[in-house]
Chain A
Amino acid sequence: MTGAPDIAALRAKLAGGDGPRFWRSLDAVADSPEFRAYLAAEFPSASRLAAAPERRGFLKLMAASFALGGLTACGGGGGRDHEVPYVNQPERIVPGTDLSYASSAVFDGFGNGILVTTRNGRPLKIEGNPQHPWSRGGTDVLAQASVLGLYDPFRSQAVQHLGRPSSWAAFRADLQGQMPGWRANRGEGLALLTGPVTSPGVAAQIARLRTAYPALRWYAGAGASRDGIYEGARRAYGRVLETHPDFSRARTIVALDGDFLDLGPGQVGLSRRWIEARRAAYAEGRLLTLHAAAPTPTLTSAKADHGIVVPAGRLEALARDLLSLAAGGAAPGGDDPVSRWARDAGTALNQARGAGIVTAGLSAGPELHELVHRLNGALGNTGATVIHTAPTEEMGAGTLADLAEAMDHGAVKVLVVLGANPVYEAPGALDFAARMKRVPLKIHAGLYYDETGAHADWHLPAAHPLESWGDVRSLDGTVGLIQPTVAPLYNGRTLAEMLAFLAGGEGGESGQDALGLLKAQWRNETEDDTAFETRFSQALRLGFWADSARPAETVALTQAAAAVPAAAPSSATAANGVEVVFRPDSTIWDGTHADLAWLQELPKPLTKVVWENVVAVSPGLAERAGIATGDILRVEAEGRTVEGPAWILPGQADDTVTLTLGYGRDVPDHLARGLGYAAAPLRPPGSPWRLADARLTKTGERRMPVTTQHLGTMEGQDLVRVQPVGAPPVGDPKGAPTPASFYPPPESQDRWVAAQWGMAIDLDACIGCNACVTACQAENNIPVVGREEVEKGRWMGWLRVDRYYAGDLDAPSTHFQPVPCMHCEQAPCELGCPVEATLHDSEGLNLQVYNRCVGTRTCQSYCPYKVRRFNYLDYTGGMTPVEQQQRNPEVTVRSRGVMEKCTYCIQRITAARITSAKDAHAPIPDGTVETACQGACPTRAITFGNVADPGSQVSAARRDPREYALLGHLNTRPRTTYLAELAPAADSNGREG
């Protein structure tokens, strides 16, 4: 403000009656040009209001002020004021309006494109990024739960030195004192341990670090590392390659312990590509058959049209059989199921030469991967349906075993662990914690003060991906950008920042921040500022660098190594010897996210067990050894033991026991502490996914695992229908007469309103991945109730995925069926409620009015689908304030004593209606309203929309002859209907028809 106001003029103005009645300052009264300029500079939006100081504008301004007031707390960290929204214009945050940012979810170092929905500066919900070339709008459970991870009260919140709170400044000072020494001896004795690195930015910083300290050794380790995949490719092609199936051109798929539908970095992209190919095949009247052989059931083997159970030790022999078939050899004889399967699969592959896919998964050994590559080569699939690219992960790091050996020799003086947890993850034989004691200086950075943090001298809090700048590659190589959606809650730093500090001795506090590092990474040297900013901002809006996927490479098989004498199938010789296979957990993966309650309470897709891991044994083994579910089993090998409760798992290989990773965490006060067992101690360092021989004994103790589904069969009902390709439709006949009733037929509900909401769920596309369940939880503020409450049968999920078995107990066919509220047109629940807390609206929604509900629970007792959930206790009251930040303000947080259930995301319908009201009540366009479950689904199994509009997608889905209503004979007329699963025409494998 310039100059003194002219007092006399002011008086005159006020006395004259044309001054504003309420004046904020003398300048405002004066309404001088200077004041206007100042206002425009400081408060761009306020200047517009200042010109029209009417009541409405004033209220808007006040509302904005109050809402934004909280943001001042988020102002820390230089350079973070450049977040670019994806959809809305970035000028300002409109209070109460969603703002979406394109970013990337990080899965064990790999990326998936996401959109982060924020409101008033708080990230609330993860949606898929439909434009992302890899994930195409799908998400997985970890991405959905990552928003809870941001607000996780268990996150590391401060720098710690020797277990005591410290500061970044102290850490910097300490290291800056030592750095000259490191430089002097070229970094001799320095060791860096990271997780899998795909980020070009992090890779560049590591390279810089290695330049600064040439003798520094870099190691990478992960609980579920992809080393076997890369090693298999190296053996087959002589170099490390990434392998990508191209389902779109495939006519048959053979998965040998394959996992392309299972949780993992590839799930979102691969399952989407698979279902699109399968849908295209169905449109042509054929089936994209999936043959799967696996030692333990997975989502991939559950979706197989021809599945077989094979011990892990026999997979290589099976691959050799297929290889000899492909080479024109004789089909394996024998009438056992495995030989029959091999003949079927081999024939199918031979008939589809150049259009078949043989694939193996993360937990297959290098030998099997090599055989699969050779098989694809022999069948002519390589280059056609199986594409190879340069590896997505950065190569050149040593393994955990190498690091352990170096530590053992005393060769490591300084160990820097960034974003890894080797003390928990490392195989027991490496005895990592003990060897770490030999290292004089240990620095650990991570999201959690975990087992490794407790063993380190310095622990540094890392920034969550939702509060970081960065980049990350998807499995196909596409570089996704990570942009922060909120200022760091706990002053964490990104890996790139910390690496930059280690390399340069400065940064962090000032100088190079994460955004600067990111920009420096992607800026071409020839580019000028403006051009780069335009390009960068464009990429930020998209969420990825366009066309950055790795190009396909031409490959050639190397000469096969001398055929290893086929190892005798290691059916254990000892009386109680078993084969052990290790798997990442199907909800918490390798345990990095074990503190996320959403994931802990998410029923594992196949066992429906929550809050722990189990020792999966086959029905046959259980029968022979007298094992019952809940018996505590001891698995013992090389003097190390693991104890966990038995779970009799149909479809498990007979003498194979499955242990899963991620549990048995031992961090004081953390959520995951004391849950399940840790499998890592038993993992052999050489072959991390399989232990050929172990002893299995019963301890005599019992503890029943907690499950959300107690019965696994359909008991002879057609709850899940299966449509053999080419057979007469199994769906409900259209236009069937309505059953007789005392009452006149219901009035047409669509007389007054345009939209009648309905949902169709394609059971053929549902892979049981649970992304919908977690998305529903995030969207609808569904509380976590804890193990004991789930044990009492009070799991609160509005959407559940039922898992049914059919056929043989040892090799069953598995079916998934997501069950949300059916929104019955003749809803039994509504009749029961005495207070009209549940009733129908004009658009066909079965509503639940929380503040009217008195909690008689009649609605649930009348519900044939049992989809309602009751707040038996105060489940929402005890949440920490930081967790409450995640709650969706559009959805009521339910109190104790209130019934709740799926609403078809009525808040999203309402938002669309408001938008349509702005457009003079134009009809809501088809596809505008997407339910949370629908949006999250990687295979687009869920369609939602207006069933009264014959042109809508949901109407098209309902016209499919596979469409049927669950328990339709009850005449509830559900609005949620299902499309039957597909099955091969000549159904010989015991799948129920």
Chain B
Amino acid sequence: MSGPLIRPDATLQGIGGAVAAIPLTHPGNQRWWIAFGGAGALLGLFVLTLGYLLYAGPGIWANNNAVVWALDIASYDWWIGVASGSLLVSAILLLLGAEWRGAVNRVAETLALLATVAAGLYPIIHLGRPWFFFWNLPYPNTYNLWPQFRSPLLWDAIDIVSFLVICVSLWFIGLLPDLATLRDRAHLEAMRQLDVKAPTRKLALLRAQVYGILASGWRGSAAHWQIWVQAYRTVALLGVLLVVSVQTGASVMLAGSLMPGWHSTLLPVSFLVNAVYSGVGVTAVIVMLIRIVYGLDALVTTRHLDVLGRLLLCLGCASAYCYAAEYFDTFLNGDAEARGVLVRRMTGTHALVSWTAVLCLVLPAQILWSARIRTAPLAIAAVGLLVAVGAYADHVMVLVVTLTQDFLPSSKLPYTTDVWGIATFAGSVGLFLTLLLLFLRYLPAVSIVESRRLALTASPAAQDDARAVASRAAARPEEDPGSAPLWGVSATFASQGDLAAALQAVSGLSPDHVHLDGHGPVPMPRTLRPLGLEGRSILPYALAGALLGGIGFFALCIYATAYDYVFLIGGRPRLSWPSFVVPSVSFAMMAGCVAIHLALLVLNRLPRLNHPAFNIPGFLRASEDRFFLSAEARSDRFDAGRIERRLAALPVEAGRPLEVRRIPR
């Protein structure tokens, strides 16, 4: 491992400033605008292409009687592969507790979300009659029709909806505290501009309002953080399971047929491997780009590069293994048609595509055996790019070579790609890039929370310094400002340890009349015991949601297929239950995710945009570098003075507040 993951001198406020400065002040404007111009042009091309496509039909592509699927499905598979890979990167880092993830997982989550958006368009626009895309989904309709649950395309429809839900959920949960940071910083800025009567003050206010709404009233309460940590990890876990399910669905769309080259049990494995591989590759490219463009060397360090490089190398080897296994298995066990397809892949008219796929997926990663190359940002980006290209070529190869010639030589039809097919893909890239650039401009590209947690664990000394500075500047608690009705008492701390000690000290004081809470910029596990929140878990909700969703969907499939809407499909029996497993698993993940999301909001009483805690003076720093204790009056017998006295009596190094205030209602 080369170098630290974070600079030793990073402070919580410094991290917040560094990351939040991008969305709030847009440094490097010119480069962003150039990139946005390019992406916007591609998006314009997309709009044009889609317009023509909807007007004329899928005949504008070069697809034909034999090659009914070409770039459309290849693009879909590629995008959903990138999404799966990115999601998996983020989720696994989260689940393994990789302390350095902050620099990568926000980008990975965003990529997963945006790639899913791009992927999700394809199953709609590739249809002959896209305006009826919703017929793929089970919904109550006046025709009393059900979709065909045995079809891998239906699995795909369920998969992609589930995937979108989980991506949005994971992305949003991760973003929520950062949005609060942005809100508070934007609010400060807006206040400052109001004071100086800057011409942009309306815009600044609007920005603060938008971030405020998005942050849903997040206050960094200890209870919020507790649920947040659990929700984040559980959604990530569901995401991992869903990736497997989604890639199974996407690969069975091919493997479920009789076609040579598709009809293979290895296909789901190689789809999964190549998907994760391409996802890591694209993530690496984008992370490097952000690092270079925004100069985030401090947050995306060479250690990150090293870890990404090792991941790529490992997946490159797995991909090579998949290819080797496929060749070995086909030539040893396969039938003549499958062997024919394999030979045509490597020697036929699309040999260039096939060799691109194999070479780009297997070879470039091998240079990452060298530690020196692993830490070179450009090398990592180049490998990532080649992997992405290789993964696309792999999808084209798998689809097109089989379809150009399958069983009957008479059905052979040549396929060469066409302008509109490429334009459609380029356009979807434009959509992806446009959204990505907007994300980079308006939202924190690197997770502030994760970076802060990393800073706290990496250099606790810095926090001590911060406290020393703060205590020097601290003022005495003010006297009772008047007879206004009290909401409660607040106390400010410089560290979580102080907050926890203070909470411990006041927790025994008339618990019936006081509601205690802590607020801070990072999760505060040490405050949970004094607050009595230990053992609160979101898992039962997740489990119940997932089980209900999964079983419910499975039952729906059985009911529809075997009882309500019985048709002879492919000679299969009425109760062909194995077909229903994949969509049920996907649906279960989605239902679990929705349950978690609801639990996160309901248990935390969110969204609540206005809360008395926001009246605490200086509370905005709860999303920066201060920790607050709030003691909320729950009855008339609330005794503010007693709490203040107890806090003031604490020793300086073990919980004495920097400041204590009475907060009016």
Contacts and interface: CB of A to CB of B under 8 A. Distances in A.
Interface of A: 709-717, 719, 742-744, 746-747, 749, 789, 792-795, 800, 802-804, 817, 819, 824-836, 839-842, 852-858, 860-862, 864-866, 868-874, 895-899, 966-967, 970, 972-973
B23 interface: no
Contacts of A872: 57-59, 63-64, 128
Contact of B153 (A829, A841, A856, A895): A856
B151 A709 contact: no
B129 interface: yes
Nearest to B67: A793
A709 B256 CA distance: 27
B567 interface: yes
Given A866-B66, A870-B65, A970-B258, A836 B567 contact: yes
Given A835-B135, A835-B147, 11 more contacts: A717-B409, A743-B576, A852-B135, A854-B135, A856-B126, A860-B68, A862-B258, A862-B259, A869-B65, A872-B128, A897-B127
Given A832-B153, A855-B127, A865-B411, A793 B66 contact: yes
B573 interface: yes
Contacts of B258: 828, 862, 864, 970, 972
A840 B407 contact: no
B573 A743 contact: yes
A828 B408 contact: no
Interface string B105-117: 0000000000000
B148 A854 contact: no
Contacts of A829: 570
A785 B408 CA distance: 23
B572 A831 contact: yes
A832 to B, nearest CB: 6
B128, B148, B256, B571: most-surrounded residue (chain A CB, <10 A) = B571
B57 A871 contact: yes
A897 B64 contact: no
Contacts of A833: 148, 151, 153
27 contacts: A711-B412, A717-B336, A717-B409, A747-B573, A792-B62, A824-B571, A826-B571, A827-B571, A831-B572, A834-B136, A834-B153, A836-B145, A839-B569, A840-B568, A841-B568, A854-B133, A854-B136, A855-B58, A858-B152, A861-B259, A862-B257, A864-B258, A866-B411, A871-B57, A966-B408, A967-B407, A970-B258
Contact of B256 (A712, A819, A831, A871): A831
A856 B406 contact: no
B77 to A, nearest CB: 13
Contacts of B127: 854-856, 897
Given A714-B409, A854-B132, A861-B403, A825 B153 contact: no
Given A711-B409, A747-B573, A749-B568, A836 B66 contact: no
A842 B154 CA distance: 24
B416 to A, nearest CB: 10
A824 B126 CA distance: 27
Contacts of B172: none
Given A709-B410, A897-B57, A899-B128, A861 B567 contact: no
Interface in B116-153: 126-130, 132-133, 135-136, 145-148, 150-153
B84 interface: no
A842 B569 CA distance: 11
Contacts, number: 204
Nearest to A715: B409
A895 B128 CA distance: 10
A839 B257 contact: no
B442 interface: no
- Chain B interface helix/strand/loop/mixed: loop
A421 to B, nearest CB: 36
Contact of A794 (B64, B571, B573): B64
B98 interface: no
B414 interface: yes
Contacts of B64: 792-794, 872
Given A840-B569, A864-B259, A871-B128, A858 B153 contact: yes
B34 interface: no
A874 B57 contact: yes
A872 B578 CA distance: 33
A970 B258 CA distance: 7
A824 B133 CA distance: 27
Contacts of A856: 126-128, 136, 153
Contacts of A839: 148, 567-569
* Interface size class of chain B, counting residues whose CB lies under 8 Å from the partner chain: 35 or more
Interface string B442-453: 000000000000
A861 B414 contact: no
B564 to A, nearest CB: 12
B157 interface: yes
Contacts of B407: 864-865, 967, 970
Contact of B65 (A742, A802, A860): A860
A839 B146 CA distance: 13
B128 A861 contact: no
B251 interface: no
Nearest to B153: A834
Nearest to B69: A861
B405 interface: yes
Contact of B406 (A800, A866, A869): A866
Interface string B537-548: 000000000000
B340 interface: yes
A832 B413 contact: no
Given A795-B65, A835-B147, A896 B570 contact: no
Interface in B567-594: 567-573, 576, 578
A718 B410 CA distance: 13
Interface in B518-573: 565, 567-573
B56 interface: yes
A713 to B, nearest CB: 6
A834 B410 contact: no
Contacts of A866: 65-66, 406, 408, 411
Contacts of B403: 861
B474 to A, nearest CB: 66
A831 B150 contact: yes
A835 B415 CA distance: 28
Contacts of B571: 746, 824-827, 840, 973
Contacts of A746: 571-573
A802 B412 CA distance: 11
B59, B132, B152: most-surrounded residue (chain A CB, <10 A) = B59
Contact of A834 (B148, B256, B412, B576): B148
A873 B414 contact: no
B62, B64, B148, B570: most-surrounded residue (chain A CB, <10 A) = B570
Contacts of A861: 68-69, 257, 259, 403
B406 A864 contact: yes
A828, A836, A852, A873: most-surrounded residue (chain B CB, <10 A) = A836
A845 to B, nearest CB: 10
A897 B572 contact: no
Nearest to B568: A840
A63 to B, nearest CB: 28
What are the 5 closest A-B residue pairs judged by CB atoms, nearest first? A855-B128, A897-B128, A793-B64, A872-B59, A826-B571
Given A793-B64, A832-B152, A834-B147, A855 B129 contact: yes
Contact of A804 (B147, B410, B570): B410
A747 B572 CA distance: 9
Contacts of B257: 828, 831-832, 861-862
A966 B151 CA distance: 25
Contacts of B410: 709, 711, 800, 802-804, 817, 819
A125 B569 CA distance: 34
B128 A870 contact: yes
Contacts of B405: 711
Contacts of A747: 573
A609 to B, nearest CB: 15
